[in-house]
């Protein structure tokens, strides 16, 4: 079924807000666990999406992508983390970075359960509730898996880049850090060259198929 723009917004809004907000909260919570209270003191350990919204990455970009395609991604304001406050800065920073993408994978499974619930409701004659849940659950799976996999690419400032810098020898990590100001440009070039989709698609479809098999969505 072809969806109108308002219908797409209604379906994708909640999954996107939860995906990016909980991603950032996960970073902050683990940083707090390992000794850095920067995110907590700045009020960012909150499930309130308004605390995490980035005007471009959370609002403008997803809206534009909704209008031109069925593929959406975005980002929130990064949660502040000061590695100097961590108990073991290099090791702990790797775990803090991984917390965001892993939270997205967990959320994708949660949305899989919601999609399955929608299918059961639709089959029971409650399509008025079941069909929206199926659409929203499917959107939640997609946005979370894409965000989780995309953020694991080892390019600073993505989470995968932070993990890479945490496990590399300090001198080499220092040089890799010089890529951080150009990370977004690198991603844009990879996107328009088609390389980005070729890199992440196998992992995205692997996880989506896994969720589909677990909940019987395939």
Tell whether omega for the bond before 157 is within 30 degrees of 0, i.e. cis: yes
- Alpha-carbon distance of 160 to 101, in angstroms, equals 9
* DSSP code at position 59: I
Alpha-carbon 209 to chain mean position: 18
φ, ψ (nearest 5 deg) of residue 156: -60, 145
Short-list 16, 193, 8, CA closest to 104: 16
Residue 24 bears catalytic tag: yes
Tell me what percent of the chain is helix, strand and coil, each rounded to the nearest 5.
Answer: 75, 0, 25
Residue of 24, 122, 180, 201 marked active site? 24
- Alpha-carbon distance of 67 to 9, in angstroms, equals 10
Phi-psi region of 71 (alpha: psi -120 to 50; beta: other; left: phi over 0): beta
- Alpha-carbon distance of 46 to 208, in angstroms, equals 28
Short-list 184, 123, 121, 125, CA closest to 157: 184
* DSSP code at position 11: H
So which residues are the catalytic ones?
24
């Amino acid at each position: 079924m072809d969806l109108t723009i308002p219908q797409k917004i209604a379906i994708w809004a909640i999954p996107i807000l939860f995906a990016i907000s909980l991603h950032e909260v996960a970073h902050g919570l683990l940083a707090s666990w390992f000794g850095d209270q920067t995110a907590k003191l700045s009020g960012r350990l909150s499930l309130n999406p308004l605390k995490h919204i980035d005007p471009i990455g959370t609002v403008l970009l997803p809206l534009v992508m909704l209008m031109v395609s069925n593929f959406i991604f975005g980002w929130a304001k990064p949660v502040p983390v000061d590695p100097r406050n961590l108990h073991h800065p290099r090791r702990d920073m790797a775990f803090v970075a991984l917390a965001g993408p892993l939270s997205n994978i967990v959320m994708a499974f949660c949305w899989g359960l919601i999609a399955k619930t929608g299918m059961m409701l639709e089959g029971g004659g409650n399509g008025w509730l079941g069909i929206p849940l199926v659409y929203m659950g499917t959107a939640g799976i997609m946005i979370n898996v894409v965000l989780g996999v995309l953020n694991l690419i080892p390019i600073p400032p993505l989470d995968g880049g932070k993990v890479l810098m945490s496990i590399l020898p300090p001198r080499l990590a220092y040089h890799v850090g010089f890529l951080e100001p150009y990370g977004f440009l690198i991603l844009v070039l990879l996107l328009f060259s088609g390389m980005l989709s070729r890199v992440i698609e196998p992992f995205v479809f692997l996880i989506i198929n896994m969720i589909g098999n677990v909940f019987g969505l395939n």
